[in-house]
Chain A
Amino acid sequence: MSGFAAYLVFFLIVALTYSIVTMGLNLQWGYTGLFNAGVVGFFAIGAYGTAVLVGPDRAQLIGGFGLPFPVAVIGGMVLAALAALIVGLATLRLREEYLAIATFGIAISIQLVALNFEALTGGAQGLVGLPRPLFELFGSPGAYNMFYLCFVAVIAILVYVALEVAVRSPWGRMLKAVREDETAARSLGKNPAAIRLQVFVLGCTLMGLAGGLYVGFIGYVSPLDFLPILTFQIWAMLIVGGSGNNLGAIVGAVGVWGLWTMSGLGISRLLPVAYQSQGGAIQVILIGLLIVLTLIFRPRGLIGETEAVSRHTR
């Protein structure tokens, strides 16, 4: 595999992992209007859950169960779902900005727990030496990355198809009803509180799934992976891609992550060596500028929400 192709495979693995998180957020915000500003917290729970279940046994750690990777990922998802259930029960009565503040705080607390609960998470040093699933079967890292890309892509497609079916079902229409007018939804005999909780848990489970996939690929996890910046990156992906559209979420994830990373490559190529230490600042400005421009010229995102009217009314 030539250099750029190998890099592209690597890039797409990470981008598609984030697209699963973005789809989870899209379900919450795009369809139901839940302002989850704690995305990274649930991503972290999925990642740490998987890492603890899949990791090798170590004397100083509680975890290290050495379970097979799929079992560990499912375990991570279950943990993320449980956390979402608890958080959801406590906070979902809050509206928009209050929910945002509460979830933001929870995500930071989760990161601090990861930093300080050394016996479980390894503290600041993280968990090392996590096995990468089926790594031994492949002769070269290039071939393995190709396999992992297919694996992540299949899961992303499955998630996409499942969400498309779900949001087009009567249940999915209910989500939009709750988002647009909760009182009206309640007057029709729907239970908005239950729907919000279901959506919150489901969306966070997807974030947990992505966390597990991330750990499987990187083979290491530390609190530094879960700084609040990631929440904003995911939000940027959703808004740029098009909130309320699952395809938009995927396009946004790939597009924004591409912008975020490849701008660095471009700058390091174009900038004279003497100015390289300024390259980082230029990159950050460029990222911000391009996101702002996208939003000015395509306020509904690259692929916005399509109008959904029941086919029976046409």
Chain B
Amino acid sequence: MKHLLASGAVGVGLLIGSSTMASAQSCEISIGSVLSITGSMAAIGSAIGDAGKLAVDHFNEAGGVNDCSVKYILRDDQGSPNVGVDAAKTLVEIEKVPVLLGAIQSGVSLPILTSVTVPAKVTQISCCSSAPSFTTLAAEGGTQGYWFRTLPTDRPQAAVLAKIAAERGYKKIAIIHVNSDYGVSLAGRFKQDIEKLGVTVTNMVAYNQEQASYRAEVNAALQGEPEALFLVAFPADGATVTREWISFGGPQKFVFSNALRADEFVESVGAEYLADAFGIDNAQVEGESVDAFNKAWEAAFGSAPNGPGLHTMYDAAAVALLAMEQAGEATGTAIRDNIRKITSGDGEVIYPGVEGFKKAKQLISEGKAIRYVGATGPLEFDQNGDVTGPYLIWGVKDGELVTLDKWDNQRVSAAIGEIDN
């Protein structure tokens, strides 16, 4: 009788053509991942792949998803969109994955999203693609909600910084930014936001990395008598720019991007010049859940998880697996609809690792709510699939980096809301 029921369930499953798994004992769910194992991002790609696999291994050790074991299929995109799209298509059509993790570069993730995952109703979660165009596409309805990413975008950062700069009463501000995808989009976003708050941007100057001097850029930025400088830079170049700004008599009022929160930067500029400076950083870089991930990584690979994308990739895989567990079925739409259920609300907090997933499975089977706090800290996805994490505002006091203020998710969302309206 049992056998009859099981085969009946399989038959129905085949009929409706979905990969829904009944709670049969020996079953397997595949999840796919498209990353750059070779090509221009090869240096970071395979470690990111390992981070995804670690999450799957942890989940399998905790008993698998809906009692099915999870198979992790990693495909290489060679750093090319055409190869990545093809790999994604084979994962979706042949391996029948309900969720696709990746890709690293936005230029690979986006064509996969538009031509493979959204049409096939497969959820896509990226660890590493930061381009703002995903938000645009999602807001237009182009992703149908199937897109998520676990790294914070520059949207909230720019809004928070603009809000504080306006509150400090700056009327005219200059911008100097590194000429990269990151620098251009954060600076552009900040300009838009702060102009909405009634502050004039006197000049926006891009600089190219690793040069001995930035006099020309600083000079250009000083035109129009700005009252403060917004600097998007990395520590070494940032220090050069800041020193030259001060020596040319620029006002010692600074707004700094997250990458400048480094002791070497403060030391090489001189703390006495930075009394009136503030900057931003993700507040989720520490905490118990982060430690749990770091320990698990060290146990598995014998070294500390230093490198971009490792924490965010683990979380991408973890939220997908937990959403499947919560939904009780492994389809893209079910995952899409359950991701927010397991990351927000007042449920019991779940940390990364085998123990955490075991606890999560237990609670879900009892019908209780859970809230996953991941390797990157608390994750809350907005309606466009972006995470708005908490932020901290840092400054310099007595020669030391200090935290001036903390912005939780509500405050960040409120700031964005105020600027958008």
Q: Which residues of A are interface residues toward B (Cβ below 8 A)?
A: 3-4, 6-7, 10-11, 14, 118, 122-126, 128-129, 141, 144, 217-220, 222-225, 227, 229-230, 260-261, 264-265, 268, 273, 276-281, 283-284
- Nearest 9 pairs of A and B residues by beta carbon: A224-B107, A280-B37, A280-B76, A141-B119, A277-B46, A222-B107, A7-B93, A261-B86, A276-B74
New A-B pairs, 5, CB < 8 Å, besides A7-B90, A280-B78 = A14-B86, A128-B142, A222-B110, A273-B53, A277-B45
Residues in chain A near residue B78, CB distance under 8 A: 229, 280, 283-284
Contact B110 A265 (CB under 8 A): no
B83-140 with Cβ < 8 A to chain A:
83, 85-87, 89-90, 93-94, 96, 105-108, 110-111, 114-115, 119-120, 131-133, 136-137, 140
Residues in chain A near residue B185, CB distance under 8 A: 125
Closest to B42 in A: A280
Residues in chain B near residue A6, CB distance under 8 A: 93
Q: With contacts A6-B93, A220-B111, A268-B74 known, is A129 near B142, CB below 8 A?
A: yes
Partner of A123, one of B49, B85, B87, B184: B184
Residues in chain B near residue A230, CB distance under 8 A: 80, 82
Cα distance A278–B80 when bound, in Å?
18
Q: With contacts A6-B93, A225-B81, A277-B50 known, is A268 near B107, CB below 8 A?
A: no
Residues in chain A near residue B72, CB distance under 8 A: 273, 276
Would you call B38 an interface residue if the criterion is a C-beta within 8 Å of the partner chain's C-beta atoms? yes
Contact B93 A125 (CB under 8 A): no
- Give the number of residues in B that approach A within 8 Å (Cβ atoms): 48
Residues in chain B near residue A11, CB distance under 8 A: 86, 89
Closest to B86 in A: A261
19 contacts between A and B (CB under 8 A): A3-B96, A10-B89, A126-B110, A126-B133, A128-B133, A128-B142, A217-B115, A220-B110, A222-B107, A224-B81, A224-B107, A224-B108, A225-B107, A225-B111, A261-B83, A261-B87, A265-B87, A273-B72, A280-B45
- Count of A-B contacts with CB under 8 A? 136
Contact A277 B74 (CB under 8 A): yes
Residue of B78, B79, B80, B110 most packed against chain A (CB within 10 A): B110
Contact A124 B93 (CB under 8 A): no
Residues in chain B near residue A223, CB distance under 8 A: 107
Contact B131 A125 (CB under 8 A): yes
Contact B136 A128 (CB under 8 A): yes
Cα distance A126–B301 when bound, in Å?
37
Contact B94 A3 (CB under 8 A): yes
Cα distance A125–B86 when bound, in Å?
21
Contact A125 B49 (CB under 8 A): no
Cα distance A273–B73 when bound, in Å?
7
Contact B120 A141 (CB under 8 A): yes
